[in-house]
């Protein structure tokens, strides 16, 4: 009876699988929008929104100087036009009915439901290659349930990482179809999407290399075709090259930059394709026939390609996108750059999809047929690589999840095809376990994303609370770099610092100004950046009054400029507290006006009348 009921539910669900999955995801997204406060929750959202506003106002497809931070000099931001287009599409329906800023804000809240629904549908499409319906559902839930992913899907967070992951779910769907059908068109399509993913984010470059390594591993063990690997690499190169021509860096088409799509990254794809073409030629002539012959010949060609890359670009190949001077003042404070290895609980929270998928892949690899072995290597090696990388930097944990969700599904499909699970009683027990897994995953997604949404709601600054108390004089706002984009969007005034490595000078100057002990140096930097308002968070603003007072007391004997602002003592003559701020604003913000004319006021008053 129970078995028949489960079978009937499964048949009904499978018939309209896309509808049920997309409807459930959209309902989840509507719930998050309902409990949000109508503000974007994270810095990248504000930057993408301001880039889109600049794009629409300027009508310039070419990259332009981003003038919302490092005032008055601006910076060359590392984001690209494809992300502007992705946000423009959900914004377009609102443009005829409201002003530009409000339309973009509404577009940001539409962006996430669309991306979430597309991601779920893409996971189903990818899973249909190898996975039965119940495992496809588990694959979708495994993708959305880690905090590294559901935190990207909170309301209003128009984040390019969800776009990147969506592209790579589609890449894996194409590769899986390629290894199953042996049709080369799927490898070409996968290469095209992989090249576009580098346009979305430079992390797409690492994902392409990792997926290629999985394909090469299959070739070394004689279960993968070198022609297919070559086609994937070659079409990745062509696609990335076209994207580069369409949207070159502001510095020029041949400017080498490993922090965004540039000729440096495209050249790696091209040299890899050339190396695979040469390896294919050696293989055709039967020069390499053994495992070691393949390994050493490909290793030689890899070093050859790497040598050419070094010759062309020199030390830029090894250069970190983050300038070394930013590590101490900025990078060590960025959460996504923090290692997960420092805490077992934190590591499991971020990396458990990768851990589960890797363990399942190792456990069931030997039992898999040849096609599933190729799929496991294609998804499994990147999953393992990004899991290891995430031990040292949290940001890699979220790009491991597409590989983990799809690879885990393939491993489970191997287990589901075993003779043991064909017995009726064991099959029923497996269905019960499926139900329990679904219930636990749904709880993690719903409750975890709700806590994230409500927690972020408390952290975001509301412009109507502080804008009336900004200096009436035109000029920039000095705030912490992490608050930079949010403040620039809310106040319509440029800032100094922002959480982007491309704004190295702005980050350094903002940090030096806030933590300087020499008030002359503070004055120089405030003049340099044309600052008229200083806006900071009050320490422990969410804590009770006594705790806030105690926190303020701890800053009393500190000589830094920021400590003086918090305490309100020993201030330089050019800084004055914003007048008329009510207590509820003072409890949440620290607002000062900057006016260098005040330093000369006593002198002017002492002069005789003319």
Task: Tokens for 43, please give them.
Answer: 């810095």
Q: Which of 273, 298, 320 is the last residue of a domain?
A: 320
Other Cβ atoms closer than 10 A to 289: 11
Largest CA distance in the chain: 106
Task: Tokens for 417, please give them.
Answer: 């095809």
Other Cβ atoms closer than 10 A to 22: 17
Other Cβ atoms closer than 10 A to 342: 9
Predicted confidence at residue 219, as pLDDT, reads 92
Alpha-carbon 458 to chain mean position: 22
pLDDT cut 90: percent of the chain above it: 53
* H-helix or E-strand spanning residue 590: strand 589-594
Average pLDDT of span 502-518: 91
| Of residues 198 and 438, more confidently modeled | 198
φ/ψ (deg, to 5) at 582: -75, 170
Predicted confidence at residue 457, as pLDDT, reads 64
Task: Tokens for 52, please give them.
Answer: 């889109």
In a domain, 16, yes or no: no
pLDDT for 609 beyond 50: no
In a domain, 419, yes or no: no
Q: Which of 304, 320, 336 is the last residue of a domain?
A: 320
pLDDT for 434 beyond 80: no
In a domain, 398, yes or no: no
Instruction: Tell me how far apart the alpha carbons of residues 452 and 145 are, in angstroms, rounded to a whole number.
Output: 13
Average pLDDT of span 156-180: 94
pLDDT category of residue 610 using cuts at 50, 70 and 90: very low
HSE toward the beta carbon, residue 384, CA cutoff 13 A: 13
The domain spanning residue 469 has which CATH number?
Answer: 3.40.50
Least confident of 70-74, 117-121, 599-603: 599-603
Q: Tokens 């393949």 identify what position? A: 294
| Of residues 583 and 56, more confidently modeled | 56
- For 252-294, the pLDDT digits (tens) are 999 998 889 999 999 999 999 999 999 988 887 777 777 788 8
- For 454-501, the pLDDT digits (tens) are 877 666 777 888 889 899 998 999 998 888 898 999 899 999 988 888
pLDDT for 423 beyond 80: no
pLDDT category of residue 608 using cuts at 50, 70 and 90: very low
75 secondary structure, DSSP code: B
Domain boundaries, position 522: 463-606
Q: Give the bridge partners for 589, in sequence order.
A: 537
In a domain, 62, yes or no: no
Q: Tokens 């990248």 identify what position? A: 44
pLDDT for 519 beyond 60: yes
Instruction: Tell me how far apart the alpha carbons of residues 467 and 265 are, in angstroms, rounded to a whole number.
Output: 43
**How many independent structural domains does the chain possess?**
2
Give CA angle at 377 (376, 380), nearest 5°. 70
- What distances in angstroms separate CA 293 from CA 9, 231, 298, 347, 349, one per listed residue? 53, 22, 8, 39, 42
In a domain, 546, yes or no: yes
Q: Tokens 């003559």 identify what position? A: 573
Average pLDDT of span 525-543: 85
What secondary structure, in 3-state letters, does 440-506 show?
A: HHHHHHHHHHHHHHHHHHHHCCCHHHHHHHCCCCCCEEECCHHHHHHHHHHHCCCECCCCCHHHHHH
In a domain, 547, yes or no: yes
Per the rule left: phi > 0, alpha: psi between -120 and 50, beta: everything else, 580 is left
Instruction: Tell me how far apart the alpha carbons of residues 152 and 525 are, in angstroms, rounded to a whole number.
Output: 36
- For 44-97, the pLDDT digits (tens) are 889 999 999 999 999 999 999 999 999 999 999 989 999 999 999 999 999 999
Q: Which of 292, 320, 348 is the last residue of a domain?
A: 320
Average pLDDT of span 317-329: 80
Predicted confidence at residue 417, as pLDDT, reads 57
pLDDT category of residue 6 using cuts at 50, 70 and 90: low
In a domain, 256, yes or no: yes
pLDDT category of residue 604 using cuts at 50, 70 and 90: very low
In a domain, 170, yes or no: yes
pLDDT for 323 beyond 90: no
180, 371 contact by CB (below 8 A)? yes
Predicted confidence at residue 419, as pLDDT, reads 44
Average pLDDT of span 227-252: 96
Instruction: Tell me how far apart the alpha carbons of residues 459 and 318 are, in angstroms, rounded to a whole number.
Output: 37
């Amino acid at each position: 009876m129970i078995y028949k009921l489960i079978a009937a539910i499964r048949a009904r669900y499978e018939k309209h699988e896309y509808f049920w999955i997309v409807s459930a995801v959209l309902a989840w997204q509507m719930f998050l929008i309902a409990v949000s406060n109508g503000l974007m929750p994270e810095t990248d959202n504000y930057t993408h929104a301001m880039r889109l506003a600049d794009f629409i106002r300027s009508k310039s497809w070419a990259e332009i100087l981003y003038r919302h931070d490092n005032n008055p000099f601006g910076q060359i931001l590392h984001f690209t036009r494809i992300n502007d287009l992705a946000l423009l599409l959900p914004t377009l329906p609102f443009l005829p009915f409201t002003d530009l800023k409000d339309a973009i804000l509404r577009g940001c809240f539409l962006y996430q439901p669309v991306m979430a629904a597309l991601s779920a549908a893409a996971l189903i499409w990818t899973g249909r290659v190898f996975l039965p319906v119940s495992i496809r559902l588990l694959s979708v839930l495994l993708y959305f349930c880690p905090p590294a992913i559901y935190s990207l899907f909170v309301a209003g967070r128009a984040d390019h990482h969800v776009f990147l992951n969506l592209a790579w779910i589609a890449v894996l769907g194409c590769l899986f179809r390629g290894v199953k059908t042996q049709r080369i068109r799927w490898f070409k399509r996968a290469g095209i999407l992989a090249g576009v993913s580098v346009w979305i984010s430079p992390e797409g470059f690492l994902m392409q290399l990792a997926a290629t390594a999985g394909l090469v591993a299959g070739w070394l063990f004689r279960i993968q075709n070198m022609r297919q690997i070559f086609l994937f690499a070659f079409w990745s190169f062509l696609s990335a090259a076209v994207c580069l021509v369409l949207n070159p860096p502001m510095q020029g088409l041949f400017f080498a930059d490993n922090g965004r799509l540039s000729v440096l990254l495209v050249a790696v794809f091209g040299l890899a394709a050339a190396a695979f073409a040469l390896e294919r030629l050696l293989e055709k002539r039967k020069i390499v026939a053994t495992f070691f012959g393949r390994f050493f010949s490909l290793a030689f060609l890899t070093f050859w390609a790497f040598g050419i890359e070094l010759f062309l670009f020199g030390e830029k190949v090894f250069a970190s996108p983050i300038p070394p001077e930013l590590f101490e003042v900025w990078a060590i404070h960025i959460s996504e750059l923090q290692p997960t290895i420092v805490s077992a609980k934190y590591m499991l929270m971020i990396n458990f999809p990768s851990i589960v998928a890797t363990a399942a892949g190792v456990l069931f690899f030997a039992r898999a047929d040849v096609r599933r072995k190729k799929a496991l290597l294609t998804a499994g090696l990147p999953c393992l690589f990004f899991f290891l990388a995430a031990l040292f930097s949290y940001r890699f944990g979220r790009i491991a999840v597409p590989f983990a969700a799809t690879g885990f599904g393939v491993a489970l499909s191997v287990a589901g095809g075993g003779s043991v699970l064909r017995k009726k009683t064991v099959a029923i027990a497996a269905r019960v376990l499926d139900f329990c897994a679904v219930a636990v995953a749904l709880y993690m997604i719903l409750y975890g994303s709700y806590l994230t949404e409500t927690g972020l709601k408390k952290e975001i600054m509301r412009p109507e609370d502080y804008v009336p108390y900004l200096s009436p004089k035109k000029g920039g706002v000095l705030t912490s770099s992490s608050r930079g984009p949010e403040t620039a969007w809310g106040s319509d005034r440029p800032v100094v610092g922002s959480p982007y490595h491309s704004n190295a000078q702005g980050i350094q100057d903002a940090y030096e100004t806030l933590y300087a002990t020499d008030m002359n140096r503070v004055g120089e930097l405030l003049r340099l950046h044309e600052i008229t308002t200083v806006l900071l968070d009050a320490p422990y603003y969410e804590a009770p009054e006594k705790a806030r007072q105690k926190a303020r007391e701890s800053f009393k004997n500190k000589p830094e400029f920021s400590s003086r602002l918090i305490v309100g003592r020993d201030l330089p003559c050019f800084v004055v507290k914003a007048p008329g701020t009510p207590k509820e604003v003072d409890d949440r913000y620290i607002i000062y006006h900057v006016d260098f004319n005040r330093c000369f006021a006593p002198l002017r008053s002492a002069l005789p009348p003319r």
